[in-house]
């Protein structure tokens, strides 16, 4: 598989795709560092407030995309997806459990596309869905996911929000990368502010007294994951078919699980390895077998 993909993409593009996977894989550990001091809604709010400020000079020079599109992405990809993931981490879920739960975003995308848009699944993607779900069920039976089952469910709901955003993105008019990053980030801020005021306390104290490691986590979330990771990702998919680029991002779960074990001494039992491996294999099968997406790319 790797040799076939390499033949379709130059070395620079492959290096960029692997860098994206590394950026996104390390984002889980960075988020856990940030959440040691920041409440989850504040952490998401700070991340996308900084993104908005940094990108405003570039984005405001371009025509604003359709408001309803940007608002939908803001609510699903930022407010729901990131908030659910951050809450799950705050409530005790390990990085490995979060990663496996978020891998369900790809199977959810397949299911929603099949139901709403008659996107033919086919035997291979059906097998991939089954394997991915088995992997998630195995992880759900681990001590961490069993003890914090509510947090595990929230992480899965975060994956569902991610899949909804990505299905919507595929059917949107072409939008400049900087606008896709800036406008959803900006529009998410009032919702995140309302959520933190409703459900969290001592926001100012957490900002003023947070440890340097927590701020380093926010900095990584903003600069490395959001700006560098998503910037490179959008650059790649604007130049190469998504079916050529997406398989390289499957390296992200490996990076994420490794950093969780290395930095936080998280357990890595045979059950965890088996569940994570099956979920990644299932997602790989789905990613490489996309009949409707292939047709769209050729159009």
The string of pLDDT tens digits covering residues 236-259 is 876 777 667 777 878 888 899 999
Q: Which residue has the tokens 């195995």?
A: 138
d(CA 152, CA 143): 12
Residue among 176, 223, 194, 221 at smallest CA distance from 69: 176
Write down the mean pLDDT value for the chain. 86
Distance from C-alpha of 234 to C-alpha of 38, rounded to nearest angstrom: 29
Helices (H), 91-229: 95-102, 105-117, 122-140, 143-147, 149-170, 177-199, 203-209, 212-219
Verdict on whether the full-model pTM lies above 0.75: yes
Dump pLDDT digits (tens) for 184-240: 999 999 999 999 999 999 889 999 999 999 999 999 999 999 889 988 887 787 677
Q: Which residues contact 75 (CB under 8 A, 6 or more apart)?
A: 188, 191
- Domain limits of the chain? 15-298
Q: What is the pLDDT of residue 51?
A: 94
Closest-CA residue to 136 (of 277, 273, 279): 279
Range in 62-71, 132-141, 164-173, 265-274 the model is least confident about: 164-173
* pLDDT confidence band for 120 (50 / 70 / 90): low
Q: What is the pLDDT of residue 7?
A: 46
pLDDT in the model for residue 262:
93
């Amino acid at each position: 598989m790797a040799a076939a993909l390499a033949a379709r993409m130059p070395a620079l593009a492959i290096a960029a795709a692997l860098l994206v996977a590394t950026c996104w894989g390390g984002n889980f550990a960075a988020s856990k560092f940030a959440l040691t001091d920041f409440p989850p809604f504040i952490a998401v709010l700070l991340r996308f407030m900084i993104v908005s400020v940094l990108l405003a000079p570039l984005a405001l020079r371009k025509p604003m995309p359709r408001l309803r599109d940007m608002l939908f992405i803001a609510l699903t990809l930022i407010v729901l997806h990131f908030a659910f993931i951050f809450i799950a981490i705050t409530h005790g879920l390990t990085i490995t459990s979060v990663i496996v739960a978020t891998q369900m975003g790809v199977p959810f995308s397949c299911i929603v596309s099949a139901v709403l848009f008659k996107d033919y699944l086919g035997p291979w993607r059906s097998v991939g869905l089954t394997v991915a779900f088995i992997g998630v069920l195995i992880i759900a039976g681990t001590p961490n996911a069993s003890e914090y089952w509510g947090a595990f469910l929230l992480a899965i709901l975060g994956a569902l929000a991610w899949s909804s955003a990505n299905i919507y993105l595929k059917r949107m008019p072409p939008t400049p990368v900087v606008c896709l990053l800036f406008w959803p980030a900006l529009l998410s801020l009032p919702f995140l502010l309302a959520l933190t005021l409703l459900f969290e306390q001592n926001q100012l104290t957490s900002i003023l007294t947070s440890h340097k490691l927590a701020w380093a986590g926010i900095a990584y979330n903003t600069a490395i994951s959001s700006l560098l990771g998503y910037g490179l990702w959008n650059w790649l998919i604007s130049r190469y078919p998504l079916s050529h680029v997406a398989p390289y991002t499957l390296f992200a779960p490996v990076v994420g699980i490794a950093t969780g074990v290395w930095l936080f001494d998280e357990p890595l039992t045979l059950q965890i390895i088996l569940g994570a491996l099956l979920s990644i294999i299932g997602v790989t099968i789905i990613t490489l077998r996309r009949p409707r997406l292939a047709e769209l790319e050729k159009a």
